[in-house]
């Protein structure tokens, strides 16, 4: 089994049925404070557009409030979907965040749309043509701006030198992916790489390719690989599987072309108990997850890290009940002996009291 040196969080800001996106975003801030107190290493927020289940459409907007509400945890994007944006604008936004929160900001970028094709087209300023497939050029430009590596006289050299929040300690670039292409790009550019096992559970070979193709850079002397995985922890295996039903139903409905908010557990359990061809693999595409008691999940995540040669696991957890999601991360932190898992108990009780009172305030 691989030793997991770091344990982190990827929050997609899930929207439970009967609630609003605004409530989901406040839950994200609440969970970030909890993760900070528990001792998780980093807290990333995702980018998704045009669906009812996930509220995190703009990670660069969420990162600032999260960093302000926490004390030591690294905060970043998991990730910015670069094809939608100008590299200069992304560099400016993240330089401001790094200037305000030096040493704590991660700039994770990816190339997927984070939505359906029609919504992706609407995100483009020029909708007359499909955007070019020039992700590697965009990525090179973004890195040149963030690292200020353009030679004198280059048109972008001046702009790199005047990024509004320029600091020697950030933002720290990461490449996100779930394919062999992203693995090769991350290795060739000497970037830390985060692989989305919750998207592609067959990525161990891609991770090996990243290690094989890695070229040391000014950013990174040795490969650094994190793997992101579906994770639900409860007191027992049965209870964790029950809680996971909400995500399983949400994904099954999305595959049917009928996107929904995260359903209540009881409704999801009934749905999943109904025989159906598209429920033979309710997570979809053979996806696996670390779902169970603390001992079960620890063993599963250690095996996952070993498969990928990763020293960091990023847990992706969505449950209908926000308190169940909080509890899942508390149990996960305790299972791995995170530094804040025990020390934070009085603070967490106080934070929960504030959360309870604010949730009933009108």
Each residue's pLDDT tens digit, 96-135: 999 999 999 999 999 886 667 776 676 676 777 777 788 9
pLDDT band at 342 (very low <50, low <70, confident <90, very high): low
- Is the distance from CB of 193 to CB of 308 less than 8 angstroms? no
CA distance 214 to 211: 5
Residue 198 has pLDDT above 50, yes or no: yes
- Is the distance from CB of 227 to CB of 308 less than 8 angstroms? yes
Q: Which DSSP symbol is given to 54?
A: B
The interaxial angle of helices 87-100 and 59-69, nearest 10 deg, is: 10
CA distance 208 to 76: 25
CA distance 326 to 35: 9
pLDDT value of position 343: 61
Listing DSSP states for 68-96 in one string gives HH-SSSEEEES-EEGGGS-HHHHHHHHHH
pLDDT band at 5 (very low <50, low <70, confident <90, very high): confident
CA distance 259 to 278: 15
CA distance 306 to 78: 22
pLDDT value of position 318: 97
Asked if residue 226 has a cis previous peptide bond (ω within 30° of 0), the answer is no
Residue 352 has pLDDT above 50, yes or no: no
Q: Which DSSP symbol is given to 125?
A: S
pLDDT value of position 197: 95
- Is the distance from CB of 166 to CB of 99 less than 8 angstroms? yes
Both tokens of residue 323? 């308190």
| CATH architecture observed for domain 6-359 | Alpha-Beta Barrel (3.20)
Burial letters 293-313, b for 16+ CB under 10 A, else e: bbebbbebbbebbebbebbbb
Rg (CA), the chain: 20
pLDDT value of position 279: 60
Boundaries of every domain in the chain: 6-359
CA distance 301 to 335: 11
Q: What is the pLDDT of residues 218-271, one digit of tens each?
A: 999 999 999 999 999 999 999 999 999 999 999 999 989 999 999 999 999 999
Task: Give the H or E element holding residue 333.
Answer: helix 322-335
CA distance 46 to 25: 12
- Please identify which residue in the block is written with the tokens 């209908």: 320
Both tokens of residue 192? 């830390």
Contacts of 223 (CB under 8 A, 6+ apart): 187, 193, 210, 211, 214
């Amino acid at each position: 089994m691989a030793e997991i040196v770091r344990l982190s969080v990827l929050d997609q800001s899930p929207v439970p049925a009967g609630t609003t996106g605004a409530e989901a975003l406040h839950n994200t801030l609440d969970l970030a404070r909890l993760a900070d107190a528990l001792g998780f290493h980093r807290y990333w927020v995702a980018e998704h557009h045009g669906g009812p289940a996930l509220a995190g459409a703009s990670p660069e907007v969420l990162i600032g409030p999260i960093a302000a509400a926490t004390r030591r945890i690294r905060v970043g994007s998991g990730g910015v979907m670069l094809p939608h944006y100008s590299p200069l604008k992304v560099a400016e936004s993240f330089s401001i965040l790094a200037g305000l929160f030096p040493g704590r900001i991660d700039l994770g970028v990816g190339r997927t749309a984070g939505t359906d094709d029609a919504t992706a087209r609407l995100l483009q300023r020029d909708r007359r043509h499909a955007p070019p497939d020039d992700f590697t050029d965009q990525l090179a430009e973004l890195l040149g701006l963030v690292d200020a590596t353009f030679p004198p006289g280059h048109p972008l050299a001046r702009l790199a030198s005047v990024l509004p929040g320029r600091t020697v300690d950030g933002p720290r670039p990461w490449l996100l992916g779930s394919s062999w292409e992203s693995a090769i790009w991350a290795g060739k550019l000497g970037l830390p790489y985060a692989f989305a096992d919750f998207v592609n559970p067959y990525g161990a070979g891609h991770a090996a390719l990243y290690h094989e193709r890695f070229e040391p850079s000014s950013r990174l002397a040795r490969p650094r690989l994190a793997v992101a995985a579906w994770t639900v922890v409860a007191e027992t295996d049965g209870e964790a599987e029950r809680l996971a039903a909400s995500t399983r139903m949400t994904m099954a409905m999305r595959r049917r072309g009928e996107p929904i908010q995260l359903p209540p557990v009881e409704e999801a359990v009934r749905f999943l108990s109904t025989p159906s061809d598209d429920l033979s693999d309710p997570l979809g595409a053979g996806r696996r997850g670390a779902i169970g008691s603390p001992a079960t999940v620890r063993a599963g995540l250690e095996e996952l890290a070993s498969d990928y040669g990763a020293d960091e696991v990023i847990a992706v957890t969505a449950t209908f009940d926000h308190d169940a999601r909080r509890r899942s991360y508390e149990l996960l932190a305790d299972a791995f002996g995170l530094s804040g898992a025990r020390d934070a108990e009085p603070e967490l009780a106080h934070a929960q009291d504030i959360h309870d009172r604010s949730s009933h305030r009108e």
